């Protein structure tokens, strides 16, 4: 079981700020593929990987990063701070 968080337009497209997901996905990319297969709203959020970023336990990560031991995954668009 892991917490999956969504921010900004990823959150708006999926319609949830966070959810618990029971998954066997070994990497971030496997989790994305699994979510995209669920429902249209996930496909809308994850359709363009160029404009998607991911953090694992609050550290930026790559899509090929392993999920073993990870408790919190967050998906969001490129950041616009400052």
Partner 1 sequence: MRVCVQAEPFDLGAESNAFAAGVAGAGAVVTFTGLVRDNGGALAAMEIEHYPGMTEKAIAAMVEQAMARWSLADALVIHRYGQLAGRDPIMMVATASRHRADAFAAAEFLMDYLKSRAPFWKKELSAEGAEWVAARDEDEAALKRW
Residues making contact with partner 1 (CB under 8 A) = 5, 7-9, 55, 58-60, 74, 76-82
* Nearer CB in complex with partner 1: 24/80: 80
Relative to beta strand 18-21, strand 59-61 is unpaired
* Nearer CB in complex with partner 1: 63/76: 76
* Nearer CB in complex with partner 1: 37/78: 78
Distance CA 6, CA 72 (A): 11
Closest approach of Cβ 72 to partner 1, in Å?
9
Classify residue 20 as left (phi > 0), alpha (psi -120 to 50) or beta: beta
């Amino acid at each position: 079981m892991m917490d999956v968080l969504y921010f900004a337009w990823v959150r708006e497209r999926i319609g949830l700020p966070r959810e618990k997901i029971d998954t066997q996905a070994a990497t971030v990319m496997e989790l994305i593929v699994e979510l995209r297969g669920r429902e249209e709203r996930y496909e809308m959020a994850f359709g363009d990987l160029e404009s998607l970023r991911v953090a694992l336990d609050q550290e930026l990560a790559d899509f090929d990063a392993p999920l073993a031991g990870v408790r919190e995954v967050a998906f969001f668009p490129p950041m616009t701070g400052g």
